[in-house]
Structure 1
Amino acid sequence: MRIINRIVLALAAVLIVATPAHAAPALDDTSARTIDELLAVRAASGGLHRGELINRLSARLLGTPYGANMLIGSATQPEQLVVDLRRVDCFTFLDYIEAASRSTDREEFVTELVATRYTDRRVEFTHRKHFFTDWARTERVAATDVTATLSAAARTTTKHLNAKADGTTYLPGLPVVDRAITHIPSAAVDGAVVAGLRTGDFVGAYTPAAGLDVTHVGILVHTTAGPVLRNASSLDAYRVVDTPLLDYTRTVPGLVVLRPH
């Protein structure tokens, strides 16, 4: 069962580096070193296509241990800016790669992380991008939803994000947002769909569950051995791994694809 990383509230027992929302976080040695390595990859990227840049940056995090619920904040607990690359969940993995792809130094990395993770650059629980499709719908828009363009079999469902089937909410203190979610059913993910995917695309595992858009996310990478989903796995691997895309697709209801800007 995949953990819905942004929907489960962060636990106090999780070991993270965090500071009050108004302050830049102090970095542990591992995180500081990893950020510097990511920035070096970007500096050496030259005129690479953005998708290939995302590939090279995310490859640096292969093997990084998985950690569940890495963020802190709720309706009753102040939001804290977390920068911890010692462990990542599937969403913070994407956050860090997106921020690194836009940064040239540590200070800029933190600034870009805030812009990636929060609407209006406000480090507040109510402004955190809790849902995958927020990346294509809320400021700063980081990607375009291209799911419908990849297959004639794509289906669109109106979801009431944050609303459970029993009438309660996943995240108390946040509104319910009506949103049309398009996904490609797993049975329709064929060679033509794979050919339409680009290295660097952000891919989510669609869920039919009420109130949610996806249950897991990763980065699509075309390799010589075939397409893989580079993701922070909460299964047996418990680290960032490359999972064969078609093998993974057979285990989920469908895919949602966002293309980075």
Structure 2
Amino acid sequence: MRITVRIMLVLAALVCALAPASAAPTVDDASARKIDELLTVRAESGGLGRGELIERLSARLLGTPYGANMLIGSATEPEQLVADLRRVDCFTYLDYIEAVSRSSTRDEFFTNLVTTRYIDGRVEFAQRKHFFTDWAARQRPAATDITAGLSPAAVATTKHLNAKADGGTYLPGIPVVDRTVTYIPSAAVDGAVTNALRTGDFVGAYTPDAGLDVTHVGILVHTPNGPVFRNASSLAANNQVVDTALADYLRTVPGIVVLRPL
């Protein structure tokens, strides 16, 4: 009997060791209220298409203050599942909108946040989707990279993600990943391209810098006044989630990478 109990305890310990981290973080009251508000918007959205749903949800976070480096974890610090909607950076903004767009309850939101932010649903720094194109290239993709099909001017280039030009890495403890990144030069984003973009598309600002795919991300929204780039802006003039005219934003970046949500 004692042997049986001991075996059961060992098996239980193994299961706990192999199980993914908990998908139920501690959430402050303001974030909890905002999550519930977004879930209500989602529930009341009826048969809206995917892009229109993303637009409606993302609009509820317009004006949310910008916060840098919102996630917790590194090669030396244990990763934590963060769900803090009091402030967002450009990536966490997209994380929350993508996760809530697939959720009906708060528990579902936390579960979907894990699968949106992490590979294999494991809350670990090494499993975090650190790069924008991870959303299309890694397991359980949240989107499809449609950049190449938007313009004959699209350029494909090989990137060694995470590798700095001086031989170091941006993220210690994370391997370098070779990936073909396709972008459309800003000068080539003409009327045909903007017409092919859909509300709800995820847009990244391409960078030629070694080791990176994009430097900023946001959501494309078509409005009566033209397309806008909805983003958590760190610019001093904004410092919050704002709508920026796409044409104005394109003048500040080398090009764009476009992912379409699944």
TM over 0.5: yes
Partner of 2:239, secondary structure, is coil
After TM superposition, give the deviation of residue 23 of structure 1 in Å: 6.2
Aligned with 1:123: secondary structure? coil
- In the alignment, the residues of structure 2 paired with residue 115 and residue 160 of structure 1 have an alpha-carbon distance, to the nearest angstrom, of 24
State how many pairs are aligned: 241
2: distance between equivalents of 1:87 and 1:140?
Answer: 27
Partner Cα distance (2:105, 2:24) in 1: 14
Q: Displacement, 1:25?
A: 1.4
Offset, 1:26 = 1.7
CA distance in 2, matches of 1:191, 1:164: 35
Residues of 2 paired with 1:251 and 1:26: CA distance? 38
Aligned to 1:86: 86
Q: Which residue of 1 aligns with 2:56?
A: 56
User: 1:24 Cα deviation (Å)?
Assistant: 1.8
- Say if 2:154 and 2:183, in contact at 8 Å, map to a contact too: yes
> Which residue of the partner structure matches residue 214 of structure 2?
214
Alpha-carbon distance in 1 for matches of 2:184, 2:104:
36
Can you list the C-alpha shifts for 1:108-142, whole angstroms capped at 9, x where unaligned? 10000001000100000000000000000112200
How do residues 90-109 of structure 1 correspond to structure 2 at under 5 angstroms?
90-109=90-109
User: Are the aligned partners of 2:23 and 2:114 in contact in 1 as well (CA < 8 Å)?
Assistant: no
Take 2:23 and 2:112, find their aligned partners in 1: how far apart are those partners? 15
Structure with max Cα Rg: 2
Give SS of 1:82's match: coil
Question: 5+ residue gaps in structure 2?
Answer: 1-20
Question: Which position in structure 1 is the counterpart of 2:67?
Answer: 67
Q: Which residue of 2 aligns with 1:134?
A: 134
User: How far apart, in 1, do the equivalents of 2:210 and 2:33 lie?
Assistant: 40
1:17-36 mapped onto 2 (5 Å cutoff) = 21-22=21-22, 24-36=24-36
More helix by share: 2
Aligned sequence identity (%): 78
Q: Please report the RMSD computed on the Cα atoms of aligned residues, expressed in angstroms.
A: 0.7
- SS across alignment from 1:80: coil
1:241 — aligned with what?
Answer: 242
4+ runs deviating over 4 angstroms: none
Higher relative contact order (CA 8 A, sep 6+): 1
What TM-score, normalized to structure 1?
0.91
Give the equivalent residue in structure 1 for 2:258: 257
- 8 A contact 2:23–2:110 mirrored in 1: no
